[in-house]
Amino acid sequence: MKEIKLFIDGEFKTSSKTYVTTNPANGEAVATVYLPSDSDIDGAVDAAERAFHSHEWRSMDQNKRADLLEAISEKMKERRNELTELEIADSGSCVRKAKADIHNAASYFKVLAGQLRKFQFEVKDESASRAGFSQNYKIYEPVGVCAQIIPWNFPLVMAAWKIGPVIASGCTTVLKSAQETPVTAMILAEILKDVGLPNGVVNIITGGAHEGERLLSNSKVRKIAFTGSTQVGSKIMEKAGKNLQNLSLELGGKSANIILDDADLSMAVDGALYGFLYHSGQACTSGTRLFVEEKIYPEFKSALIKRIADVKVGVPTDPATGYGPVINQKQFERILNYIEITKTEGGKLLYGGERASEGELSKGFYIRPTLFEVTPDNTIFNEEIFGPVLAITPVKNEAEAIKLANKSIFGLAGAVWSKNPERAKRVAKQLETGMVWINEYHLLNPGMPFGGYKQSGIGREMGEEGLKSYLEVKHLWVSDCDERAKKPWFDAIF
Ligand code: NAD
């Protein structure tokens, strides 16, 4: 069994309190985890603050920081088999998803290194500057000590998206992993130590709501970066108000997947299934509302029901498995409860709708992929379930699809399927979300911004926007005028 310690000021530390994490697929113990005390958390913030002000970190050239990011990427690749195995056991990720996660996390550090090498931390704005009067510069500087909090669904990827821009920008951080999945973030800590990241730049702690609140309430924290549910995000925003901390929120979603009547039908069927079944529906971008134009609805629906049976529900370690368990008992019961609510509300069950418990599956939290035909009044049309339940609604036309897609408090992602790129783009542009795919789903590009509209979040991760969210911008005004009489303020008080 793994032992997960706290990574504070470059050292791995134990504490007086521990708990044990379990594998969602079979209930077996995965790791003994040390929980930080309040003083451990405060100590981690102090270490981050010391590192932020240290000469070593403040004076480190951006190319040296990019070298560190590349070295982290390489070490992750070297340890990919171990990371994959641990991610499977810790989070119930299927082997194909876990492998992709490790690859994506490692690639992110590499792409970020490339962006950092090109990023200009000092830019003279020629349009704002005027010869003989002023030279005006934008100077980008790190925000400071960050508190970062991540969820359990993509443990290593989420840690990478948080730690990457901290190193790139010259900030420092205390990152809290999710209580359920602390293992791979601690391997990442070993890698950070291994590549020679200065002590205290990145500190990683474990814990749940109490530890998260303690961390972000520290007045030395200048930026909070949170990924998780909209409910917790809203509480965090209130707390951030006390110290007016800079805030990034990546929150929940209820994304619309729109199938237009000129779509490639079999591709769109597969895209609809991938959109909501990936990682057992536990992706924030999950396409959990499916809108299909009436003209093709009967044909699409029967193709979907037929094709869903081809997705193998199985144990995560089996390479043939396309669909595994959900994270824990609480989520398992929550999802089954949403299924019961939909049945009582008159939603038409088309497939699944129950626990999967044959053979090995009886040991874990498995729920059969579930299809419901619903109207916009149904609870599951509106609320994020974070599980493998698809709400399907036929629509008269493109306009109705857009209207219903936007009928949501969320605005994270969505997709449009059509063989006509102009038509698909017209629809995509009218969706109130931070990301729209055309004839695609879930794929992300680390060079492009990611984040939500409305209650799906504030700010962006990845891309130039992601890096800039860890930077303050200073306007530096250099006078280009040394004649007192020509200075506009000269007359003001003399
Ligand atoms: P959650 O909000 O319950 O927890 C997220 C993190 O916040 C965990 O580390 C948890 O320990 C911590 N936390 C909980 N209460 C806290 C509090 N009061 N103060 C400080 N920290 C607290 O979410 P979850 O169940 O872990 O993850 C699922 C949610 O995350 C879904 O809503 C999903 O859509 C969202 N998510 C969003 C994105 C995105 O990029 N938009 C990505 C992944 C997951």
Residues 135-174: pLDDT tens digits? 999 999 999 999 999 999 999 999 999 999 999 999 999 9
Q: Which residue of the set 49, 180, 211, 250 is catalytic?
A: 250
Domain housing 159 = 2-251+456-476
Inform me whether the pLDDT recorded for 292 exceeds 90. Answer: yes
Q: For the segment 383-419, what is each residue's pLDDT rounded down to a tens digit?
A: 999 999 999 999 999 999 999 999 999 999 999 999 9
Both 315 and 412 in one domain: the answer is yes
Both 100 and 247 in one domain: the answer is yes
| Banded model confidence at residue 490, pLDDT cuts 50, 70, 90 | confident
Both 427 and 466 in one domain: the answer is no
CATH number, domain with residue 365: 3.40.309.10
Both 231 and 290 in one domain: the answer is no
Both 247 and 270 in one domain: the answer is no
Q: Is 252 in the pocket of ligand 1 (CB under 6 A)?
A: yes
- Specify whether the backbone of 231 is left (phi greater than 0), alpha (psi in -120 to 50) or beta: alpha
Q: Note whether residue 464 is domain-resident.
A: yes
Both 87 and 197 in one domain: the answer is yes
Q: Note whether residue 492 is domain-resident.
A: no
Q: Note whether residue 296 is domain-resident.
A: yes
CA 117/CA 148 separation, integer angstroms? 24
Both 220 and 340 in one domain: the answer is no
Contact 86, 99 (CB under 8 A): no
Q: For the segment 12-22, what is each residue's pLDDT rounded down to a tens digit?
A: 999 999 999 99
Q: Note whether residue 199 is domain-resident.
A: yes
Q: Which helix (H) or strand (E) holds 98?
A: helix 95-118
Q: Which residue of the set 284, 293, 373, 384 is catalytic?
A: 284
Q: For the segment 80-110, what is each residue's pLDDT rounded down to a tens digit?
A: 999 999 999 999 999 999 999 999 999 999 9
Judge whether 94 counts as a catalytic residue. Answer: no
Neighbours of 16 (CB within 10 A): 8
Q: Note whether residue 17 is domain-resident.
A: yes
In the reported structure, the alpha carbon of residue 208 is separated from the centroid of ligand 1 by a whole-number distance in angstroms of: 10
Both 66 and 191 in one domain: the answer is yes
* Residue % of the chain over a pLDDT of 70: 100
Both 59 and 143 in one domain: the answer is yes
Position 492 scores a pLDDT of 85
Which residues contact residue 364 at a Cβ distance below 8 angstroms, ignoring those fewer than 6 apart?
Answer: 23, 24, 25, 26, 27, 92, 315, 324, 325
Question: Kind of pairing, strands 256-259 and 289-293?
Answer: parallel
Q: Note whether residue 352 is domain-resident.
A: yes
> How far is CA 317 from each of CA 86, 218, 320, 336, 362, rounded to the nearest angstrom?
11, 41, 9, 24, 16
Both 210 and 284 in one domain: the answer is no
CATH number, domain with residue 211: 3.40.605.10
Position 485 scores a pLDDT of 87
Strands of the sheet with 223-227, listed across from one edge: 11-13, 6-8, 202-205, 172-176, 145-149, 223-227, 246-250, 457-458
Q: Note whether residue 493 is domain-resident.
A: no
Choose one of 149, 242, 276, 334 to mutate for the ligand 1 pocket test, by most ligand atoms within 8 angstroms of C-beta: 149
The residue with tokens 């403040």 is 58
Q: Is 151 in the pocket of ligand 1 (CB under 6 A)?
A: yes
- Specify whether the backbone of 200 is left (phi greater than 0), alpha (psi in -120 to 50) or beta: left
Ligand 1 atom index nearest CA of 327:
25
In the reported structure, the alpha carbon of residue 350 is separated from the centroid of ligand 1 by a whole-number distance in angstroms of: 30
Both 301 and 205 in one domain: the answer is no
What is the DSSP code string of 334-376? Answer: HHHHHHHHHHHTT-EEEE--SB--SGGGGGS--B--EEEE--T
Domain count along the chain: 2
Q: Is 453 in the pocket of ligand 1 (CB under 6 A)?
A: no
SS3 breakdown of the chain: % helix, strand, coil, rounded to 5?
A: 40, 20, 35
Q: Note whether residue 444 is domain-resident.
A: no
Both 319 and 372 in one domain: the answer is yes
Contact 366, 324 (CB under 8 A): yes
Q: For the segment 431-489, what is each residue's pLDDT rounded down to a tens digit?
A: 999 999 999 999 999 999 999 999 999 999 999 999 999 999 999 999 999 998 889 88
In the reported structure, the alpha carbon of residue 252 is separated from the centroid of ligand 1 by a whole-number distance in angstroms of: 8
For the chain, the first-to-last Cα distance in angstroms comes to 77
Inform me whether the pLDDT recorded for 176 exceeds 90. Answer: yes
Q: Where are the beta strands (DSSP E) in 109-266?
A: 122-124, 134-142, 145-149, 172-176, 202-205, 223-227, 246-250, 256-259
CA 40/CA 15 separation, integer angstroms? 8
| Banded model confidence at residue 356, pLDDT cuts 50, 70, 90 | very high
Q: Is 152 in the pocket of ligand 1 (CB under 6 A)?
A: yes
- C-alpha closest to that of 147 among 129, 127, 173: 173
* Residue % of the chain over a pLDDT of 90: 98
